A and B are shown apart, each in its own frame.
Chain A
């Protein structure tokens, strides 16, 4: 079982659809993250969960709604997205300590039509 898995790997949705991205980590970590990676832009941290509690929301529009039911699972619920939301959405996990390595999942490539 690989460390961090994400489903689906590819998603095409219309602007009126509602969909969810799923992330699962098998590493025993206690922090999980959602990132957005767009072409020619750096990775943007969207949300952080430490011990299932959301500790960071970097001014992400409300059409993105995270959910962390336990320390191994993380969801990103999507609704009424815009074409500019098309990007690679990466999930990561880590231990919470001073020098922590983040392990990334393979990402979900999202296209909004």
Chain B
């Protein structure tokens, strides 16, 4: 099983729709979880951290399910500008053990 797995997509979603994708991780000792966003030919940027209690920031909601070892990202009322690749990041029990998923490509259609 890969350390961090994501559905590569692409997810083609009409503007205004709700879209969700998951990321599974293999190391049950993982401590921290993040969603990053990467636009085409740009660097990754932090979208949001994922806390045990869940995290909501505007149209974005991230959740953690430790029992099933996955995190999720929900985007409501999607905008054209949400089109990007969303990277799942899992940090282990050491500060320097950071694993990126391959990313999920999202295309918001007008």
Give me the interface of A with B, judged by CB distance under 8 Å.
Answer: 31, 33, 35, 40-45, 48, 50, 55-56, 90, 96, 98-107
Say yes or no for B32: interface residue by CB 8 A criterion.
Answer: yes
In addition to A56-B97, A105-B43, 11 A-B residue pairs with Cβ atoms within 8 Å of each other are A33-B98, A41-B102, A42-B100, A43-B87, A45-B98, A45-B100, A55-B96, A90-B44, A99-B49, A104-B43, A106-B42
Q: Looking at chain B's contact residues, is the secondary structure mostly helix, strand, loop, or mixed? A: strand
Contacts of B9-62 to chain A: CB distance below 8 A? 31-32, 34, 42-46, 49
Give 3 closest A-B pairs by Cβ, nearest first. Answer: A104-B43, A48-B96, A43-B100
* Interface size of B as a range: 20 to 34
A98 touching B98, Cβ below 8 Å: no
Asked whether A98 and B101 contact (CB < 8 A) given A42-B4, A48-B96, the answer is: no
